[in-house]
């Protein structure tokens, strides 16, 4: 059965950037070392937060965490603290154009040349949802963490929830250094952008054509979309299907956590399908008695424990 577009979009939501708390105001527990850092992703600075146990000595298994649609890294702090207490080096970050990260620049007019110098008006690409950019950001965070003193380069794990629950599959399929991932209530296939209805399909292609012809730019920053924060870049979304990459994750230990009463999409078309298609070490856990957002509320501790146990076993 086809899932309504609005339900799928709601499933990808995690939180709004307006909820972000400045890192300077964040107080960590006494047993955790916390600091901010900068990661350069294709020339653009991403704001990162780094957590480690105060008792850290030598190399630590490392977890890269990524937030979902419309989210920011600050929402991941409770989970990052749990993982750090369990003995991991943990890195969270804001995607380019979100939270405290800088944004890519795009020319708003054709540049002019004078005396060998180009002059252009530019605009930030901020507050839009581009899964190809976001997965690239995760991969660059993995590159970055290799230079951290406490990072054990042969024990790298990635964690993602909701929209980024699909991102971790996409990334693990492309970076053999990822030894384990946790995909929590993950969305695995965005091809509904073309398949949901003839009207949406036409809209996607119209937007794509207009953008390539310079008739429109990127969506307005943080524009609302079906109650969501952040318009998608349609031509990127329409071809994004990490479920098709799961077969390339054979050497990565894969944990899929789903909500038993998932109401926003059909688990059979997402995490369950990915689990069934995958090879190698894998596990599927259905958290009982909750809908989608229960994983961030009454069952958050259970989900944290499942992820902690998985990373301890496979990192």
Q: Which ranges constitute the DSSP H helices of 59-197?
A: 77-85, 131-145, 163-172, 192-195
Residues 182/193, Cβ–Cβ less than 8 Å: no
Helix axes 77-85 and 300-314, enclosed angle (nearest 10): 40
Tokens of 103: 């944004």
Considering the entire predicted model, what is its pTM? 0.90
Q: What is the pLDDT of residue 12?
A: 39
Each of the 315 residues of the chain gets a pLDDT tens digit; together they read 344 443 433 333 333 333 444 666 778 899 999 999 999 999 999 999 999 999 888 999 999 999 988 889 999 999 999 999 999 999 999 999 999 999 998 876 677 888 888 888 888 999 999 999 999 999 999 999 999 999 999 999 999 999 999 999 999 999 999 999 999 999 999 999 999 899 999 999 999 999 999 899 999 999 988 777 899 999 999 999 999 999 999 999 999 999 999 998 999 999 999 999 999 999 999 999 999 999 999 999 999 999 999 999 999
Whole-angstrom distance, CA of residue 76 vs CA of residue 23: 12
Query: Which residues, in sequence order, are CB contacts of 22 under 8 Å at separation 6+?
Result: 100
Q: Look at the block and give the residue holding tokens 């794990």.
A: 157
Residue 44, beta-bridge partner list: 41
Residues 52/150, Cβ–Cβ less than 8 Å: yes
The domain spans of the chain are 5-99+127-314
Superfamily covering domain 5-99+127-314: Alpha/Beta hydrolase fold, catalytic domain (3.40.50.1820)
Q: What is the pLDDT of residue 24?
A: 60
Neighbouring C-beta atoms of residue 74, cutoff 10 Å: 22
Residues 271/242, Cβ–Cβ less than 8 Å: no
Q: Look at the block and give the residue holding tokens 């490392």.
A: 62
Q: What is the pLDDT of residue 4?
A: 40
Residue 225, beta-bridge partner list: 228
CA distances (Å), origin 311, targets 26, 50, 173: 26, 17, 18
Concatenated DSSP letters for 199-220? HHHHHHHHHHHHHHTTSS-SPP
- Residue 130: DSSP 8-state: -
Whole-angstrom distance, CA of residue 52 vs CA of residue 197: 47
Q: What is the pLDDT of residue 22?
A: 64
SS3 for 250-287, per residue? CCCEEEEEEECCCCCCCHHHCHHHHHHHCCCCEEEEEE
Residues 94/101, Cβ–Cβ less than 8 Å: yes
CA distances (Å), origin 242, targets 12, 246, 307: 14, 7, 20
- Beta strands 224-225; 178-184: pairing state: unpaired
- Beta strands 104-107; 60-66: pairing state: unpaired
Q: What is the pLDDT of residue 5?
A: 41
């Amino acid at each position: 059965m086809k899932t309504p577009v609005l339900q799928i979009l709601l499933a990808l939501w995690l939180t709004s950037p307006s909820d972000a708390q400045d890192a300077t105001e964040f107080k960590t527990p006494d047993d955790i070392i916390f600091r901010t850092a900068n990661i350069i992703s294709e020339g653009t600075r991403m704001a990162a937060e780094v957590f480690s146990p105060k008792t850290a000595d030598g190399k630590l298994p490392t977890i890269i965490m990524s937030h979902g649609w419309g989210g920011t890294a600050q929402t991941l702090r409770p989970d990052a603290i749990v993982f750090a207490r369990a003995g991991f080096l943990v890195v969270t970050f804001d995607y380019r154009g979100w939270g405290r990260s800088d944004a890519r620049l795009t020319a708003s007019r054709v540049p002019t040349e004078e005396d060998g110098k180009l002059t252009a008006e530019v605009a930030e690409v901020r507050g839009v949802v581009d899964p190809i950019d976001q997965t690239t950001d995760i991969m660059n965070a993995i590159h970055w963490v290799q230079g951290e003193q406490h990072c054990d380069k042969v024990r790298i794990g990635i964690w993602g929830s909701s929209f980024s629950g699909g991102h971790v599959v996409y990334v693990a399929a492309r970076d053999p250094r990822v030894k384990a991932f946790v995909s929590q209530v993950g969305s695995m296939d965005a091809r509904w952008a073309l398949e949901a209805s003839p009207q949406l399909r036409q809209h996607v292609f119209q937007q794509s054509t207009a953008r390539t012809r310079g008739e429109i730019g990127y969506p307005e920053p943080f524009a609302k979309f079906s109650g969501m924060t952040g318009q998608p870049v349609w031509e990127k979304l329409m071809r994004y299907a990490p479920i098709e990459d799961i077969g390339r994750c054979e050497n990565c230990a894969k944990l899929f956590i789903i909500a038993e009463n998932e109401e926003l999409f059909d688990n059979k078309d997402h995490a369950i399908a990915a689990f069934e298609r995958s090879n190698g070490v894998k596990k599927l856990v259905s958290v009982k008695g909750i809908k989608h957002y229960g994983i961030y509320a009454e069952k958050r501790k259970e989900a944290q424990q499942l992820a902690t146990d998985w990373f301890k076993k496979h990192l």
